[in-house]
Every structure is written in structure tokens, then in C-alpha cells.
Amino acid sequence: MEALAEKDLAHLLHPATNLAMHRKTGPLVIERGEGIYVWDTHGKRYIEGLAGLWCVAIGYGEEALVEAATTQMRKLAYGQLFASRSHEPGILLAEKLESWVPPSKRHTGPWKFLFGNSGSDANDTQVKLVRYYNNVTGRPNKKKIISRLNGYHGVTLASASLTGLPPFHAHFDLPIPGVMHTGCPHAFRHAHPGESDEAFATRLADELEALIQKEGPDTIAAMIAEPIMGAGGLIVPPEGYFPKIQAVLDRHDILLIDDEVICGFGRLGTRMGSEAMDMRPDTVSIAKALSSAYLPISAVAVPDWMHEAMLEPSNQVGAFAHGFTYSGHPVAAAVALRNLELFEERDLVGHAARVGVPFQARLQGLMGKPFVGNVRGKGLLGGLELVADPGAGKRFDPSAKAAIRLAALAQEEGLIVRALAGDTIAICPPLVITEAQVHELFDALERAIARFADEQVKAA
């Protein structure tokens, strides 16, 4: 462990990491995984309570995916989708995805799937498609995109601009022009005293309408949203939020881009998160659980009406000039296809819905614990928000790094979770977790909370 840590500090630059803190503490080096568990280089076992980065849905060590990768690698290690070339895994995966992604609100034909490598590039592609579509349909001024404060949509220039978190903008000269952010649907923090969920959702819809009017409805092309916000604080919008928001968008012919990178493929107990949260999107971004992260792959679901608009313009210039060397990589596509087949064979979506019941019950049970101010979630996705004074909802001073400390204590207790903005802890285990393992997870988290509370009392 020590030798590996020294090599890490000497040569490896870690993404999304406090580099100054990392230099002092060094990394946790994970060596292997099986099911919902991972082991470090000292042999200590942890529950992987965030499924890696919200992504190892089928769990670690799935031999069927290893076999799918090795079989495809021996058969065709690489094949492109450029210039009218294709391959069987890409064709079959696109066909399989048609049954996973619900129809769009103006959908009349099959989805087309444009493959990429990550959720970031999928959302970057969404920005380019919106521009392309409005250019070729004679609306060149309709280009702006609305995102939400605390939303997370990736780290490319465009997708990081959509992301509504300050650290992803600072020092990078972001956001780029044409991206703006509307209010965050976090009732615990942003609802007025005594304001009902319906009134809060109505106010957010009114604020969106005001932003659209200020910018000019004819200049705004789309809004992007996660069904449940992930990295920005595990924020569950109030009931009725999306229908109210979509009424505003429909009134001004503004598309809704559904970012399913975290919520898709069973996480909320439905095939796509949109089904659980009453969303009716126009286009969809998917990644992460698409292959259970065994290999990098993402996709944008392109509706038939958008695809039809691309045909003649691509003929005019000689190509639809977008895509990546690894778009629909045959090995990644073969693994993703087998992953989705296993989801269906094992009814992992139904399993997530069933095991989500005790998961959410244990999550709600944390509300009685010291310094826990709010809990929220759906299916096998949950978050708890720490507060210095639960009665008043008073935040910890940022210097306390309360959620970071609780995550460290959980790690000592054999549980890996993630500290998010707003002193929130995110929990997102592999979908294969059993009810007994749910209790094991929350028992470890409760021990960490008790230790955190003892530290706070002693420090007071």
C-alpha cells in the first residue's frame, strides 16, 4: 500500500479531487471487487456504497461481462461506425435500447442511438445536436440552454457549463455563452417557511418562465435536467415539479433533455428515471449503468423527428460531422448488450424496486440521528444532509467539512459513500444488493454517524 501510494503521488493526477488534501493523505487503493464489496491493498473489505461512481449497477466480478468482452475482443477488437461502416454489437445494442428508453413526448418512430464514451460527452453532444437541429430547421437564434443550479451534467467545456456547481466553473472560464441556470428544486433548503411542495414547484416554474421571458423565448432551445440530481446534493424535486416545468417549456417550444446518466437503468426502480419522476423528455442521455461501467460507453437517444431533419443537411455538406473514434466500440457495445440482457434475465429493475423499500425505510430512520437534518431518495438512491442545528436547519461552517468527515468515518467502518455539496452524503449501492446487505450498509453508516456526533459534542 505504501509503495503504491508513493507511486500515485509521484505520477498520477486524480480528477475531481482536492489535490492539496490528496498530497497530505494519499489515496485509498482498491485492489479487487466482488458483488457489492471491494477490498483495498491491505485486504480490508468495504461495502461499495456508491457503486463506484454511481455506475457499477450489476456489481463487481460479473463473469458474464468478462466473457462478453473477451469473446468480442477475439472476434473483432475494434470496428468503427464512421462512413457507413457498422458492426453487429453496435446494431444489436441500439435495437436493445429501443425497449429501455420510453418514447419522447412528440415521438412517432424509433429512437436512433448515437454512441459515445461518457456521460460528459453525451451531454456535450446534446448541446451540438440542439444547435444543429435549430440551424437546419431555420431557427438560428434559438440556441440557449437552461440548466439548474446544483445540476451535474459533466466536465467538457459544454457539459461543465451546464453543470451548476461553482467548482466546475472556477478557473476554467465557464460557463460558455448561451448557458444559464434556473432554480434548484431543493425544498429543504429553498422552500419558504410554510410553503407546500406544490407551491414551491409552482414558484420554480414561475421563475423559469421569468428567465425565459428575460432572455427571449425565441432564443432558448432546450432545458436539461436530471430526474433526481446526483452530484449536486442528491436532490429529489417535489411532486408535481416536472409537469409544471414542462408546461412552461411546451408553451415556448423548448426541448427537455433528460440526463439519465445516474438515474437510468433501474436506479429508481423503473427502467429510466423519467418514468419515476413524471418527466416527458424530448431527448435522453445515458451512460454509467449502460455497461455497469465495465467498459466506457454512453449514448444519446435521438428522436425520429430530429433524425429526419439531419438527413438532407448532411447530404449538403457530405456528412453528419460528429462522432468519436470509439463511438459504439464493439467490445464496449458487446458488454453493454450483455449487461442489459442480464438486467432482464435477473429482473434487476424489479429487484431494485423491491429492495428499495427497506433501503428507503432505513434511510428515513436516519432522521432521528444527531446532526441529520434531512434525508431524501427513491429506489436505491439516497442522501442525508448534515446540519449543525437540526431544529433550525443551520448549516455547518464550511471549514468543518462535515460530510467529508462523516464519509471518512464511514470508510473506517467499512463503507464507502460520497460527500457532496451542501454537507450531503450520497448512497447508491450496486443494484444487486440484497435486503440483508442493505441493513449491513445502514448499520455501518449509523455507527459512523454516532462517532461523528461524539466528535461534535467533544469539540463543542
- In tens, the pLDDT along 312-332 reads 999 999 999 999 999 999 999
- 30 with 167, same domain? no
- 35 with 169, same domain? no
- 309 with 446, same domain? no
- 56 with 87, same domain? no
Task: Identify whether the C-beta of residue 377 lies closer than 8 Å to the C-beta of residue 263.
Answer: no
Interatomic CA distance for residues 70 and 58, integer angstroms: 18
> What's the number of domains the chain is made of?
2
- 47 with 151, same domain? no
Interatomic CA distance for residues 130 and 114, integer angstroms: 14
Interatomic CA distance for residues 354 and 143, integer angstroms: 42
Residues of the chain with pLDDT under 50: 1
- 418 with 336, same domain? no
Strand partners, 41: none
CATH number of the domain enclosing 89: 3.40.640.10
- 36 with 79, same domain? no
Residue where a domain terminates, one of 293, 324, 345: 345
- 303 with 161, same domain? yes
Angle at 69 between CA 98 and CA 324, to 5 degrees: 60
Going 379 to 383 to 384 to 387, the CA torsion angle's sign is negative
Interatomic CA distance for residues 280 and 455, integer angstroms: 46
- Which residues are CB-neighbours of 142 under 8 A, at least 6 positions away? 134, 218, 219, 220, 221
- 50 with 186, same domain? no
Amino acid at 301: A
**What is the model's pLDDT at position 3?**
65
CATH number of the domain enclosing 54: 3.90.1150.10
pTM score: 0.95
Distance of CA 59 to the CA centre of its chain: 17
Task: Identify whether the C-beta of residue 185 lies closer than 8 Å to the C-beta of residue 199.
Answer: no
Residue where a domain terminates, one of 316, 345, 374: 345
- 74 with 53, same domain? no
Task: Identify whether the C-beta of residue 250 lies closer than 8 Å to the C-beta of residue 217.
Answer: no
Q: Which ranges of 191-260 would DSSP assign to H, the alpha helix?
A: 197-215, 241-251
Q: What is the mean pLDDT of the chain?
A: 95
**What is the model's pLDDT at position 329?**
98
- 359 with 315, same domain? no
Residue where a domain terminates, one of 345, 374, 390: 345
HSE, CB side, 13 Å, CA atoms: give it for residue 353. 12
**What is the model's pLDDT at position 13?**
84
- 162 with 174, same domain? yes
Task: Identify whether the C-beta of residue 142 lies closer than 8 Å to the C-beta of residue 132.
Answer: no
Burial (Cβ within 10 Å: 0-12, 13-18, ≥19) of residue 11? exposed
**What is the model's pLDDT at position 1?**
44
Task: Identify whether the C-beta of residue 61 lies closer than 8 Å to the C-beta of residue 263.
Answer: no
Domain that holds residue 204: 68-345
